[in-house]
Structure 1
Amino acid sequence: MIKTPLVTVFMAAYNAEPFIRQSILSVINQTFGDFQLLIVNDGSTDNTVGVIESIKDPRIKLVHNDGNRGVFYTRNRLLNLAIGKYIAILDSDDVASPDRLELQLAFMESHPDIALCGGNAAVINESGELTGVNYIEPFDETIEVFMLFGNPYINSTAIFKKDVFLALGGYKDYDPAEDFELFTRIAENYPVANLNQTLVNYRIHSNNISIKDNSRQIKNEIRVLHNLRKQLGLTNDELWSAIHLSLYKRQTNQFTVKEYATFLSEVKLANRQTKRYKQNILDEFLFNKWYEILRERKAKAALFLFFDNRLFKWRFCTFKQVRKVFKQSFFSLRNR
């Protein structure tokens, strides 16, 4: 009887010849060896297939799409092909840390309520050299709330339960934001987590999908953000949509400070009705988001605005925050 591996590592590949060998070897050389490496070739026209086939390991399963079908179709082949209890994602240009699977599977097995787990990443360049940039993701109770304003999951660090993936119907057509959309659906229905450890080297290069398909990504991110507001019962107001997107993109110069305060307070009030998020966690997160906006905008009346009673609570406030907004307001007045 053939033993079923604990985890399926999934890799979608399209013209990945320059990087895929390093990606595959980073899986083959994991400290945890009970895996299936499922690679779906999405109609590559370079030597991607040749590189894959040159690596001999019985844990590798290579399948081919009938032409270039795109990320959404390719990733949903997991619905029928994944055989592990868990599904771990690794993009064909990224490199897994040697103990990535061991760390995540130990966590998932000891926390059976968790449906999705990610972690941090170190950024590498096209040549595979560390850039010194690190992506540090939230790993406490703020993860779900963070999703309102950003994606707390680096795709190549994600591992999730296969039965949850099947129950939710897999990926939806939000390419190239289909990973973020899936993660929001998982978080809506199940507990999620992140490990405060570096799990992958994330490669930045000219052919990154998020760089090439930026306009399409923004369009589908807007759809995801709409879904998140809908969970809160917020109307699909065009102004709210635009403000929400600017916060997601960290472009806080698009609207007035008062408009941002109103939007954040509306989120806070809406959650009191729907109870989508734990109110104390959301309130503190929104207050800190408000502080970030004031600092980024260099608002002259920062001290007065900081104490906006719709968002401010003393228990969320630190002395350092008060000192910074006081100095900001003082120097603004002095330089008039």
Structure 2
Amino acid sequence: MLIKEEILMMVTVLMPVYNAGEFLREAMDSILNQTYEEFEFLIINDGSTDSSVNIIESYEDERIKLVHNTENMGLIKTLNKGIEIARGKYIVRMDADDIAETNRIETQVNFMESNDDVAVAGSNGVIFLSDKPMIKKPTDFPIRYTEIRCRLLFESPIMHPAVIMRKNVLLENNYRYRDEYKDTEDYGLWVEIAKDHKIVNIPKKLLRYRIVSSSMTNQALKKMSDRIRVMKKIYILGLDYLGVEYSEDELDIHAEIALSSTLKHFQYTKRSVEKWLHKLIAANNFIGRYKSEIFNREIAEQYFNVCVYNGTYVDYKNSKFANYNPKSFFTYMKLKSAVRIKQMVR
């Protein structure tokens, strides 16, 4: 009996490339110099017109598998193509401008082999600006699945190019990146997967995530109205899963809460924000979708952030949310003072 080629390999590192010549060699070297050496490095060239292909072809490493799209297909279609042709049991995502720590793959494979109930595992890392390398921001994502599920109601606590995924879970459940979530396609994917499968973060810094001025996330932030429109589609997935009814105004309030750190102007009062968040708690108490202690703490965290960006510490201290997640004035001021740096690296 012939064994299918798809299951002969443990790891596929999937890296789409489009005009990434400036940082590509550094990204490739960080993968090829891993402590874990047995993998397929699947690089999909999405119609690059710069030096990217020449850089890739300059490597003489049999692990590299270079595939060319016949035309520029965009990130979503390229990633989905990669999922289909990857031969690994695990798919390790990598972007062409980031830097993987040398033990990244080894750490993630060992973790997944020891936790067969986990579908996706991300990690923490360090975010840095390409043009201002001295400005760095260590990430502090939630680790546990129970916490991540709650956070996904508002944002993605998963660093996309830092994940390792089980290919069979993606294929068997038809999980793919969706066009309707363009520029936040990973967030939409995590929300879909987390309904029925575990997503966690490994508590180690395994990736250095580069922010460049031309990055898609950066561009999307500049087009905030378009970003909110797409994000609301993902929020709807989470709200429907929670079983809460919402008006268009309430959906807008939810978006304003979730995106509070990126907004310059706020439309809704803190009273309306509080009312909506209490409605979410009531819905969860009724349906029991999330553990109430963890869910309530996350709701309180969101209100605390709103008070940092559009309020005062007293607003939070005097709210009922402070009972779920007590916060000190020192914590408030520390976050308040970090607002400017945080906005620079988002």
Quickly name the TM-score band, shorter chain normalised: 0.7 to 0.9
Is residue 315 of structure 2 the alignment partner of residue 302 of structure 1?
Answer: yes
Is residue 197 of structure 2 the alignment partner of residue 190 of structure 1?
Answer: yes
Deviation at 1:103, TM superposition (A): 1.0
Deviation at 1:147, TM superposition (A): 1.1
Equivalence map 1:141-156=2 (5 Å): 141-156=146-161
Deviations 1:283-302 (Å, cap 9, x if unpaired)?
12213333343444334863
Other-structure match for 1:246: 256
Equivalence map 1:208-287=2 (5 Å): 208-214=215-221, 215=223, 216-251=226-261, 253-287=266-300
Deviation at 1:12, TM superposition (A): 0.6
Is residue 188 of structure 2 the alignment partner of residue 181 of structure 1?
Answer: yes
Contact 1:143 1:152 in 2 (8 A): yes
Is residue 162 of structure 2 the alignment partner of residue 157 of structure 1?
Answer: yes
Deviation at 1:34, TM superposition (A): 1.8
Deviation at 1:70, TM superposition (A): 0.7
Q: 1:323 to 1:44 in 2, by over 3 A?
A: closer
Separation (CA, whole Å) in 2 of partners of 1:159 and 1:302:
40
Structure 1 segments (4+ residues) deviating >4 Å? 321-325
Separation (CA, whole Å) in 1 of partners of 2:136 and 2:293:
35
Equivalence map 1:44-193=2 (5 Å): 44-126=48-130, 129=133, 131-140=135-144, 141-169=146-174, 170-173=176-179, 174-193=181-200
Q: 1:178 to 1:304 in 2, by over 3 A?
A: closer
Amino acid across the alignment from 1:258? R
Contact 1:123 1:135 in 2 (8 A): yes
Q: 143-152 or 122-131, which moves further after superposition?
A: 122-131
Q: 1:129 to 1:5 in 2, by over 3 A?
A: farther
SS of the residue aligned with 2:59?
coil
Deviations 1:131-188 (Å, cap 9, x if unpaired)?
3322221113311111112110111111111011112322111221111111111111
Query: How much identity, in percent, do the aligned residues show?
Result: 30
Deviations 1:234-277 (Å, cap 9, x if unpaired)?
23521111111112112484321111111111111112233222
SS of the residue aligned with 1:75?
helix
Amino acid across the alignment from 1:206? S
Deviations 1:69-104 (Å, cap 9, x if unpaired)?
111110101232111111111111111111111111
RMSD: 2.5
Amino acid across the alignment from 1:144? R
TM-score when normalising by structure 2: 0.85
Q: 1:195 to 1:79 in 2, by over 3 A?
A: closer
Is residue 213 of structure 2 the alignment partner of residue 206 of structure 1?
Answer: yes
Q: Which structure has the larger Rg over C-alpha atoms?
A: 1
SS of the residue aligned with 1:58?
coil
In the alignment of these two chains, the number of paired residues is: 320
Contact 2:260 2:306 in 1 (8 A): no
Q: 1:37 to 1:217 in 2, by over 3 A?
A: farther
